[in-house]
A and B are shown apart, each in its own frame.
Chain A
Amino acid sequence: MGVISAIGNSVAENHQSLKNATCGVSKEFDLFPTKYAGLLPFGQVPISTEDLQKQLLVNDPGVTRTTLLALHALNEAIADCGISAEEIQSFDTALIGANTVGGMCLTDELYNDANEKTDGSDYLASYDCASVNLYLQKHFKIKGIINTINTACSSSANAIMYGAMLMKNGYAKRAIVGGTDCLAKFTINGFNALHILSSDNCTPFDEGRKGLNLGEGAAFLILEKEEDIKGRKVYAELTGYSNANDAYHPSSLSDEGDGPFLSMQGALKVANLTADKIDFINAHGTGTENNDEVESKAMIRLFDKPPAFASTKGNIGHTLGASGAIEAVYSILSLIHQEVYANLHFKNTIPSTGLTPVQSYTKMPVNHIMSNSFGFGGNCSSLIFSKV
């Protein structure tokens, strides 16, 4: 596993920050000039793009921050897993990545190139989301199946699911799966235009929640079939996954929460588990009025009395296309260390749901953990990771 976020540049740093209930979201922002710098809180990875380039020894022109964050996380995952270059370059190693911002972080370059105001910048091939995985393909000389998925904020949960499907169907022995997204003027203004950005730190599942905070980061995981592990360390088993659509509204969830309900239910079915076996839910919990209430209602519908749950959006913000993969890493940390992490900034339960998330770092037995990701376009996905 490899991860980079506002609360750390590695799995170990993220783990320590989660235990300490560190909040990486603040109004200190210096990535690029925007009217909202200092006004809205963001979960910025505290390394400049130039320093990332230097650290990662990337000299090629046209490499975006989205790609650099992905490369940082993937380097860690590969080192952690200990797979060889030969294995990475084998025809049965797949790379499935997700992101929603792509090169859109280069607002000014894209504006100039798309409106014919230049002779062409270095970034002409970098704007689309596939550019991240095409770079990683070249960098690591990957020969297996490569894909990029976009289901908005549930993108990398679907990347993990697609990787698992490729292995199950014999198209790959090993799948490198994950997601990345960086902060961009484009998404900041977009979410702001929808009036769902909070001017304070987001407060998932709190009665007085005022919206989400945007964050950035990346995470990659390496999946292998049980029979191919060859003595490597195994952190967890991906036992359940499911994707469903809410079919209600382009940018918000239905009152009944059919999409979230169906995706959670579907994941239980694939894992062949009853609802009472889930010990903890890593909730999508963005801190918007709509998401948290609907997600709570769907949990009540499925579980009757939902298990312990929390959202990590208070720690790192909403990392969009990366969130499913980052939170998969966090869920696996819970399984490895038999502990769960605090849902930050919570004060009062939402009266219509009466649900209270976990509010402090807690040691507890965790055998099966569910992780939710819901996105625009009604795209809902749930994953289940189990202790090995």
Chain B
Amino acid sequence: METAELKLQVKKQIIEFLNLISVKPEDIKDDEPLFGEGLGLDSIDSIELIVLLGREYGIDIKDPKEGRKVLADINTMVAYIEQHRTK
């Protein structure tokens, strides 16, 4: 899958998984932080997204601190998926 295509897919999955009502994929910028400012996600969302990576891409992140780095923005997330996905 092309990176751009994967980015769109990940954005759609984030919106669905976190029930981000009224957010569209194009609203999420690739380099905008997902947590704090930006989308305004919090620590519970970060755990939810780690579960998303596990269920959709077979990626197992054990350490929540590592998770926070991977989940910084769409670019870091997609780069990590491309390197570590098992499905």
Q: Interface on A for B, CB 8 Å cutoff?
A: 193-195, 249-252
Contact = CB atoms under 8 A, between A and B. Distances in A.
A137 B44 CA distance: 39
B16 interface: no
Nearest to A251: B44
Interface in B26-58: 42-44, 47, 51
B44 A195 contact: no
Contacts of B42: 249
Contacts, number: 11
A356 B11 CA distance: 46
A252 B46 CA distance: 14
A188 B42 CA distance: 22
A250 B47 contact: no
Nearest to A290: B43
A249 B47 contact: no
A194 B48 CA distance: 9
Question: Is chain A's binding surface mostly helix, strand, loop or mixed?
Answer: loop
Contacts of B44: 194, 250-251
11 contacts: A193-B47, A193-B51, A194-B44, A194-B47, A195-B47, A195-B64, A249-B42, A249-B43, A250-B44, A251-B44, A252-B43
A207 to B, nearest CB: 16
Given A193-B47, A251-B44, 9 more contacts: A193-B51, A194-B44, A194-B47, A195-B47, A195-B64, A249-B42, A249-B43, A250-B44, A252-B43
Question: Is chain B's binding surface mostly helix, strand, loop or mixed?
Answer: helix
B53 to A, nearest CB: 14
Nearest to B50: A195
A195 B47 CA distance: 8
Nearest to A252: B43
Contacts of A193: 47, 51
Contacts of A195: 47, 64
A199 to B, nearest CB: 11
Contacts of B47: 193-195
Nearest to B42: A249
B26 to A, nearest CB: 29
Contacts of B51: 193
A294 to B, nearest CB: 14
B42 to A, nearest CB: 7
A193 B64 CA distance: 11
A30 B64 CA distance: 30
* 6 nearest CB pairs, A to B: A195-B64, A195-B47, A194-B47, A251-B44, A193-B47, A250-B44
Contacts of A194: 44, 47
A194 B51 CA distance: 11
B83 to A, nearest CB: 23
A30 to B, nearest CB: 27
A100 to B, nearest CB: 18
B64 to A, nearest CB: 5
A194 B43 CA distance: 9
Contacts of A249: 42-43
Nearest to B62: A195
A183 B66 CA distance: 31
A251 B42 CA distance: 11
A250 B47 CA distance: 14
Nearest to B48: A193
A251 B46 CA distance: 13
Contacts of B43: 249, 252
Interface string B7-34: 0000000000000000000000000000
Task: Identify the interface centre among A194, A195, A249, A250: most chain B CB within 10 Å of its CB.
Answer: A195
